[in-house]
Amino acid sequence: MNSFSDLSAQQLRRAAAIKEKIQSLENELNRIFGPRAKAVPQSAVKLKRKMSAAARKKISAAAKARWAKIKARK
């Protein structure tokens, strides 16, 4: 994608005009349907998963074992 410094004045004016058209159309849709909440795809919503104490303990033990193995090599 081009950066703004790479665009000519004519391209910047055209981009600004397109942006204004988009904003105008969004405003028109909002007048028809009312303001809408930001649409976030379900796949983008991250669920916070809780880990059990036992799972945390296993992960911690495995990490400590890996570090002990690495330190033992030195």
Contact 19, 13 (CB under 8 A): no
- Quick: pLDDT tens for 4-33: 778 888 988 999 999 999 999 988 888 888
Q: Is residue 56 pLDDT above 90, yes or no? A: yes
Q: Is residue 46 pLDDT above 90, yes or no? A: no
pTM exceeds 0.75, yes or no: no
Contact 15, 7 (CB under 8 A): yes
Joined together, the tokens standing for residue 21 give: 């058209």
Per-residue pLDDT, averaged over 28-40, amounts to 74
The predicted pLDDT at position 39 comes to 60
